């Protein structure tokens, strides 16, 4: 298996750092599975918590960990070896075009933390219900 490699990093206007990781690997002959994963680590803290969750840092940290990672993976199959670098750059450019309006939004971290914490609470509630039956 080919190890993942850091492809590039971009600081965003909201203080977070967008990283692109190359997870590509050869498939057959000169063909590649080209995979680029965008990752955005969001540390838990007063600056990133939604206002309604302030004061619950310890609870949220126990549930989700000290940081939450947003990731999005894009794949292309059967890419010729000679087209592999250009394909990575094309995927990166497409994702960077979306970054300012979505990932760099000032509320992105707060909304993402709220979403993940709500998902955690719903899963926990569902598991309690299943064990009571």
Per-residue pLDDT reduced to its tens digit, 44-100 = 999 999 999 999 999 999 999 999 999 999 999 999 999 999 999 999 999 999 888
Bridge partner residues of 69 (DSSP):
41
Q: What percent of the chain shows pLDDT beyond 90? A: 88
72-101 per-residue burial string, b: 16 or more CB within 10 A, e: under 16: eebebeebeeeebeebbeebbeebeeebee
Residues 6+ apart with CB under 8 A from 7: 19, 20, 21, 22, 36, 88, 92
73 touches 23 (CB < 8 A): yes
Please provide the average confidence, as pLDDT, over all residues in the chain.
Answer: 94
- Domain range for residue 72? 5-132
pLDDT band, very low/low/confident/very high, at 103 (cuts 50, 70, 90): very high
The length of the chain in residues reads 133
pLDDT band, very low/low/confident/very high, at 1 (cuts 50, 70, 90): low
Pairing of strands 31-43, 67-80: antiparallel
pTM: 0.89
53 touches 60 (CB < 8 A): yes
Provide the number of structural domains found in the chain: 1
Does residue 131 have a pLDDT over 90? no
Does residue 133 have a pLDDT over 80? no
């Amino acid at each position: 298996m080919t190890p993942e490699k850091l492809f590039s990093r971009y600081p965003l206007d909201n203080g977070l750092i967008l990283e692109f990781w190359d997870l590509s690997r050869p498939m057959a002959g000169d063909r590649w599975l080209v995979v680029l994963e965008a990752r955005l680590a969001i540390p838990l803290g007063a600056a990133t918590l939604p206002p309604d969750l302030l004061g619950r840092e310890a609870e949220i940290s126990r549930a989700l960990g000290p940081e939450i990672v947003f990731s999005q993976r894009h794949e292309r199959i059967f890419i010729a070896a000679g087209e592999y670098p250009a394909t990575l750059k094309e995927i990166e450019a497409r994702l960077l075009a979306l970054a300012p309006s979505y990932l760099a939004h000032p509320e992105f971290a707060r909304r993402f933390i709220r979403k993940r914490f709500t998902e955690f609470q719903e899963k926990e509630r569902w598991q309690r219900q299943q064990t009571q039956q």
